Amino acid sequence: MISVALPKGRLGNKVFDIFAKVGYDCDEMHSDSRQLVFTSEENGISYFLVKPSDVSIYVEHGAADIGIVGKDILLEYEPDVYELLDLGIGKCRMCVAGMSDFKDNPDVALRVATKFVNIAKSYFKSINRNIEIIKLNGSIELAPILDLSDVIVDIVETGTTLKENNLAVINEFLPISARLIANKASYKFKTEEINTIVTKFSEELSK
Partner 1 sequence: MSDNLNFLYNDELLTLKLRKLYESAGFKKFRMSKFESYDFYARNKDFLHGQRIITFSDLNGKLMALKPDVTLSIVKSADNAAGRQKLYYTENVYRESKDVHEFKEISQVGLEVLGDIDLYQTVEIIILAIKSLLEIDPDAILDISHMGYTEGLLDCLTDDIALRAELHKLISGKNAHDIVKLANSNSLPMNPVNTAIGLMVSKNSNDEAIADAVANALNARMQGAVKEISSIYEILKAQGLEKHIRIDLSVTGDPNYYNGILMHGYIHGVPRDVLSGGRYDMLLSKMGKDCTNAMGFAIYFDALDRQLHKKTADDTPVYILYDESSDINTLVSLTETLREQGTFFNAVTSLPCDAKSKIYKIKGNTTEEEEL
189 contributes a contact to partner 1 by CB under 8 A:
yes
4 contributes a contact to partner 1 by CB under 8 A:
no
163 contributes a contact to partner 1 by CB under 8 A:
no
80 contributes a contact to partner 1 by CB under 8 A:
yes
Among 28-36, 40-48, 139-147, 188-196, the segment contacting partner 1 (CB under 8 A): 188-196
130 contributes a contact to partner 1 by CB under 8 A:
no
193 contributes a contact to partner 1 by CB under 8 A:
no
CB 207, min distance to partner 1, A? 17
Q: What is the dihedral of CA 60, 65, 66, 70, to 10 degrees?
A: -20
186 contributes a contact to partner 1 by CB under 8 A:
yes
- DSSP per-residue codes, 110-163: EEEEES-HHHHHHHHHHTT--EEEEE-SS-TTHHHHTTS-SEEEEEESSSHHHH
46 contributes a contact to partner 1 by CB under 8 A:
no
List of E strands, 10-55: 37-40, 45-50
61 contributes a contact to partner 1 by CB under 8 A:
yes
CB 115, min distance to partner 1, A? 19
172 contributes a contact to partner 1 by CB under 8 A:
no
Which listed residue (154, 183, 197, 201) binds partner 1 by CB under 8 A? 183
Residue 29 CA to residue 39 CA, distance in Å, equals: 8
129 CB-near residues (< 8 Å, 6+ apart): 106, 110
Among 5-13, 23-31, 107-115, 189-197, the segment contacting partner 1 (CB under 8 A): 189-197
Residue 173 CB-density burial (10 A; 0-12 exposed, 13-18 middle, 19+ buried): middle
- Comparison of 90 and 98: residue with beta carbon closer to partner 1: 90
| Angle (nearest 5°) at CA 156 between 127 and 67 | 95
CB 133 within 8 A of CB 120: yes
Applying CB under 8 A, the residues found at the interface with partner 1 are 60-62, 80-86, 183-186, 188-189, 191, 195
